[in-house]
Chains A and B, each alone.
Chain A
Amino acid sequence: MILTPQTFDQIFPIAKLWLLGFVPAGAQPLASAILSVVPVLIAFPLLFAITTWLERKGLGRMQNRLGPNRTGPFGLLQPIADAVKSLTKEDIVPITADHVVHFLAPLVLVAAAFLAYAVLPIGRNMVIVNMNAGVLFFFAIGSTVELSVFMAGWSSRSKYSLLGAMRAVAQMISYEIPMVLATIVIIMQAGSLSTVSIVDKQAGYTGIFPHWYVFTPWGIVGFALFMIAATAESNRSPFDLPEGESEIIAGYYIEYSGFKFALFFLGEYLGMFATSGLAITLFLGGWSAPFSFLAWIPSYVWFFAKLLVLIAAFIWIRGTLPRLRMDQLMNLAWQYVLPMALINMLVAGIWHFMPTGPARWLVCTALLAAPCILLSLALKRKQRFQVRTYRFAE
């Protein structure tokens, strides 16, 4: 085997084909499926462990303190300590809880979160299933996460958890629409729902600059809207009111302890990675390198590098912004993000039909900047303090 950059890039497909050679022909489809799935099942939980460490250290440094630094050098064994803790804690289920649903909720969440990785192209020729309707599959699976949130909140039969579940489900459905609308722009431009072909369309270069969709006016706005919606979908700060630690303690998973809580945590982070992965696939060019002279670095390295950058951005936002109140959250979704997503779709259509050149850049940028600024100003002006009226007291 000649060691070219091509070989390193395709090391995983080559290894899979080599291993499949040992399997009899009848069992090959099953073995091929297992060999595709197992690396994902290993890599992303490992990334989850690393992310918990990164988050605690990163948030600590942003808050002028050290993160954990006692377990292992620089606290690197902290994820292992957390795993041991969550495995050895007593599993308390309230007596009045609905035991079957209480048990199934974290399983549904983790299963849905893992299913979403099936359509993400992690490298060149490295996607588990290349579906025609890949992006649609991703959103279909994302909508089952809300069901598991509801199951968790309802089955605990506690007021905190029910309140948290209602808020969480309302938040997730509200932000699903802008997420899908931001994706439609990409689908319009790429002409296909298949994630592999979307990445392939972004893999070219003009000079040294890539053809990523984020480097267009509608692309960057779409990316921003998608990331806002993704933050809200994964219940992450500043949209983490349903699980607000200081407000309703843990919201819909307040009655979960030990390993089930760890599963919820895992499911939430896996969902975050999955939506980041989709954002990378749709907007940031998937596994392609940012400059043409860097294309010798393997494609999966670029995917994970971009994923780490997005995770760092999530952690940065978490350390900076205060939590949004429920009504502020819903206002943002319906009165700001949704109109911007619709206008973005319109501008993408205009971009498609205008001839290439600086004219379409100017027109599209102006058409996007004006509503953005006007909407922001209008929403800010609405924040006059009103006289407090009581609905039932008078």
Chain B
Amino acid sequence: MTVSFLILAVLTVAGMAAAMGLRNAVHCVLALTVGFAGVAALYLQLGAQFVGFTQIMVYVGAVAILAVFAIMMTHSPTPVQLPAYSSRWAWGIVVAAAVFSVLAWAIRSGTASSQVLPPQPDIDVQQIGEALMHRFVLPLEIMGLLLTAALIGAVVIAMDRKEEPK
């Protein structure tokens, strides 16, 4: 529990909490982006350079942009004045406590926290690339196929039907 971990954890949790609690949708997305950046910093602190930078590139650079585009196209600029908390907040607390306790029990009883692991060797990108191409090539190709299908589907949905030129 170093100081830097505490700071980053507080930043991440605050960002995600703000993302849930703020009124203005765009503010929520920006707070979510701060949360993503916090997670990326935590990855970097653990020494996972590739994952950290990919987290920034994918989440901050693509997912957040996607979310803001969606908001830009659909919402009106003025924030809607709804009550911030729903009326069934007691049930919400019960469900959240249940989920939290299940996750905490799973993590505490798992193997990773009971032993002190030897320091892992620095994984460099070349090893990740080789693993992707040798051991994990099937998931990689399936993901690529899924993404291509999504891309083509999006283009088909968004394309306007051009009538034949007269």
A and B touch in their complex, CB below 8 angstroms: yes
Q: Shortest Cβ distance from A290 into chain B, in angstroms?
A: 30
Partner of A131, one of B49, B56, B61, B64: B49
Q: Shortest Cβ distance from B127 into chain A, in angstroms?
A: 11
Residues of A within 8 Å of B163, CB to CB, are: 389
- In the complex, residue of chain A having the shortest beta-carbon distance to the beta carbon of B37: A144
Bitwise, B32-56 to A at CB < 8 A (1) or not (0) is 0100000000000000011001101
Residues of A within 8 Å of B57, CB to CB, are: 136, 139-140, 143
The answer to whether residues A132 and B49 also contact, given A101-B30, A143-B61, A147-B33 and a CB cut-off of 8 A, is yes
Once bound together, how far apart are the Cα atoms of A100 and B18, in whole Å? Answer: 14
Once bound together, how far apart are the Cα atoms of A387 and B164, in whole Å? Answer: 10
A to B contact number (C-beta, < 8 Å): 80
Q: Determine whether the beta carbon of B50 is less than 8 Å from that of A389.
A: no
B65 contacts the other chain (CB 8 A): yes
Which stretch from A150-158, A232-240, A305-313, A369-377 is at the chain B interface?
A150-158
Tally of A interface residues using CB under 8 Å: 34
B100 contacts the other chain (CB 8 A): no
The answer to whether residues A133 and B61 also contact, given A101-B26, A386-B165, A389-B163 and a CB cut-off of 8 A, is no
Q: Shortest Cβ distance from A249 into chain B, in angstroms?
A: 19
A289 contacts the other chain (CB 8 A): no
- In the complex, residue of chain A having the shortest beta-carbon distance to the beta carbon of B68: A150
Among residues 177 to 203 in chain A, which have CB atoms less than 8 Å away from a CB atom of chain B?
Answer: 191-193
Main secondary structure of the interface of B (DSSP, over half): helix
Q: Determine whether the beta carbon of B65 is less than 8 Å from that of A147.
A: yes
Once bound together, how far apart are the Cα atoms of A366 and B2, in whole Å? Answer: 58
Q: Determine whether the beta carbon of A132 is less than 8 Å from that of B72.
A: no
Partner of B165, one of A101, A162, A166, A387: A387
Q: Shortest Cβ distance from A365 into chain B, in angstroms?
A: 28
Q: Shortest Cβ distance from B71 into chain A, in angstroms?
A: 9
- In the complex, residue of chain B having the shortest beta-carbon distance to the beta carbon of A149: B65
Once bound together, how far apart are the Cα atoms of A144 and B41, in whole Å? Answer: 14
Residues of A within 8 Å of B64, CB to CB, are: 147
Q: Shortest Cβ distance from B137 into chain A, in angstroms?
A: 17
A19 contacts the other chain (CB 8 A): no
Once bound together, how far apart are the Cα atoms of A154 and B26, in whole Å? Answer: 9
- In the complex, residue of chain A having the shortest beta-carbon distance to the beta carbon of B66: A173
Chain B, interface size category, equals 20 to 34
Once bound together, how far apart are the Cα atoms of A234 and B101, in whole Å? Answer: 48
Residues of B within 8 Å of A144, CB to CB, are: 56, 60-61
- In the complex, residue of chain A having the shortest beta-carbon distance to the beta carbon of B64: A147
The answer to whether residues A140 and B65 also contact, given A98-B26, A154-B26, A166-B72 and a CB cut-off of 8 A, is no
B140 contacts the other chain (CB 8 A): no
Once bound together, how far apart are the Cα atoms of A162 and B166, in whole Å? Answer: 35
Q: Shortest Cβ distance from A200 into chain B, in angstroms?
A: 16
Q: Shortest Cβ distance from A282 into chain B, in angstroms?
A: 16
Partner of B50, one of A101, A133, A139: A133
Among residues 79 to 137 in chain B, which have CB atoms less than 8 Å away from a CB atom of chain A?
Answer: 122, 124-126
Once bound together, how far apart are the Cα atoms of A166 and B69, in whole Å? Answer: 8
A146 contacts the other chain (CB 8 A): yes
Q: Shortest Cβ distance from A221 into chain B, in angstroms?
A: 24
Q: Determine whether the beta carbon of A143 is less than 8 Å from that of B126.
A: no
The answer to whether residues A173 and B54 also contact, given A101-B26, A101-B27, A136-B125 and a CB cut-off of 8 A, is no
Q: Shortest Cβ distance from B151 into chain A, in angstroms?
A: 11
Residues of B within 8 A of A (CB): 24, 26-27, 30, 33, 49-50, 53-54, 56-57, 60-62, 64-65, 68-69, 72, 77, 122, 124-126, 160, 162-163, 165-166
What are 17 A-B contacts with C-beta separation under 8 Å?
Answer: A98-B27, A132-B49, A136-B57, A143-B62, A147-B68, A150-B72, A151-B30, A154-B68, A157-B77, A165-B72, A166-B69, A173-B62, A173-B65, A191-B126, A193-B125, A387-B165, A389-B162
